Amino acid sequence: MKARVTVMLKNGVLDPQGEAVRHALGSLGFQGVNGVRQGKVIELDLAHTDAAKAEADVKAMCDKLLANTVIESYRVEIL
């Protein structure tokens, strides 16, 4: 079973990488990009056969390691 975790900075947290990308896009001629938020995607290959147990375990992984829950939010998808 596979899981995909998408981690993003929470709203209100400054995103300097996103701002740098937005600025670079403007410099390359891509107009009209008013904001960019950059995050990360983590794909996990799990031995689980129970989707509910897999999701619970992945959420625990996010809370303990994969996301800094003070400034980041995450979304778990079981594939």
> 32-66, pLDDT tens digit by residue?
999 999 999 999 999 999 999 999 999 999 999 99
Residues 37, 18 contacting (CB under 8 angstroms): yes
Model confidence over 7-30: pLDDT tens digits? 999 999 999 999 999 999 999 999
Q: What is the dihedral of CA 45, 51, 53, 57, to 10 degrees?
A: 40
How many Cα atoms sit within 13 Å of 51 on the Cβ side?
Answer: 5
The CATH number that applies at residue 11 is 3.30.1280.10
Residues 21 and 38 sit within 8 Å (Cβ to Cβ): yes
Rounded to 5°, angle at Cα 39 from 28 and 57: 160
- If one counts the domains in the chain, the total is 1
Range of the domain at 74: 2-78
